[in-house]
Every structure is written in C-alpha cells, then in structure tokens.
Amino acid sequence: MIDHAHDLACVRDATERLLTAAAALDNASLAEPSRLPGWTRGHVLAHLARNADALVNVLEGRPMYASAGMRDADIERDAPRPLDVQLADVRDSAARFQETGDAPADWARTVELRNGVTDSASRVPFRRRIEVELHHVDLGIGYELEDLPAEFTEREIDFLTQRFSGHSDVPATRVTDGTHAWSTGREGAEPEITVSGAPADLLGWLAGRRDGAALKTMGGALPQLPPL
C-alpha cells in the first residue's frame, strides 16, 4: 500500500541531502557536465526546480507542463544561473511541493502526468522522490547509486520493472538481486532471460544510468530497454 505521507517525508530528507551536497559547488563547477548527456549540473538543478512546480500542477489538476517545448525551454533558460539562485529555486519549489502535498486531498484520485500518463495521486510523492534521488546521483558530486536508501532502491526497481512490463520489444525477463525477484518485459509463461546482480547495478541498468556490464544473465543477452 502506498503511503504518501511517508514518501513526502522522504522527499523532504532527500532534498535536504541534495541541497547540502550542492552547496559545496561553485559557479564554475555548476557549469560543468553532469552525468546526463548534454546537461550541465545547472541543467539538473533547473530541472529539479521546474519538476517540483510541475508536480504541484499535477496535484492541483492542471497540465503538468504547458508543452514539451516549454518544459525544455524553461530548463535551458534556468540552467546558467549562479549557484545561490539555483539552490534558492530548488529549495523554494520543493517547499511549494511539500505545502501542496501536506494539504488535505483525495489521494486515491487519478491524476495525469506527461504524455497522457495517469497514476494515483498517492504515487506522486514517490515520483518526486525518484527525481530528487536519481538526479542527485546525476550531479556527479559523490552521491552514488550504492548510497541510495535500500528501501528506495527496492521500490524503484519494482516501479521500473512494472513500467517495462508488457513491452513487446523486451523479452520476458526475471530480475533478481538474490533476495527479491521481479518480472518485466513481454508476457510469457516462463522468463526467457534472467538478469541478476547487486541492487544498485540493477537499478542503474533499469534507470539508464549504467550499461549493465556488472550484471549476470542467463538465457540470452542483457535486454535492451526502451528509453524512460
């Protein structure tokens, strides 16, 4: 069962970790490449701020973004800002998200995200937590996938394997860290391929942050996953 209040508290903690770490940067390092192709660290922070506001829109029944083009333009506009402005924006937008999340609401209602995707409102805080945790890693400032809370890593693996379930281009696949197991890909009575490895490596592969070289496969090559 999804506990949105727990996830809101976890978002708050993850945001503070990110802000504390990012405060050690300077303007020059902010302009350096992040781990995301084509994005500087400034792009990552700008995206985090605008994503918080976009999820406020979702929770309040408005379109997440005015358009895909506007989303990208806003990130490009905000990416070159100095560090103090970036940090203030991330903090202020996060506070707006928390305030909206703390307001009484029907958390069982269905909300619409980007590209027509729908979900329960109760899962929006976890979606925000994904953004904060993974983009903290993407900054490339010492926070790695292995540093993510174990509870988050397990839930995000579950979230991503569900996302790829039923995808015709992904073979029926069993994913396991040796303790937990998940199924993903197209439907099949039995998995065609088994992928195993450490939780951080599985998450890195599923989230497009690692190439999967550290994973073991049985039954075939490591599946190629569609972009997120």
Nearest 10 degrees: Cα torsion 146, 51, 27, 134: 10
Cα gap 139→70, rounded to integer Å: 23
pTM for the whole thing?
Answer: 0.96
Instruction: Grade residue 1 by pLDDT with cuts at 50, 70 and 90.
Output: confident
- DSSP character for 64? S
Q: Report the amino acid identity of residue 33.
A: P
pLDDT digits (tens, 9 = 90+) for 146-202: 999 999 999 999 999 999 999 999 999 999 999 999 999 999 889 999 999 999 999
Question: Is it the case that residue 106 has pLDDT exceeding 80?
Answer: yes
Mean pLDDT across the chain, nearest whole number?
A: 97
Model confidence at 76: pLDDT above 90: yes
Cα separation values, 111 from 74, 122, 126, 194, Å? 23, 9, 14, 34
**CB neighbour list of residue 164: distance below 8 Å, 6 or more residues apart:** 170, 184, 185, 206, 225, 226
pLDDT digit string (tens) for 109-144?
Answer: 999 999 899 999 999 999 999 999 999 999 999 999
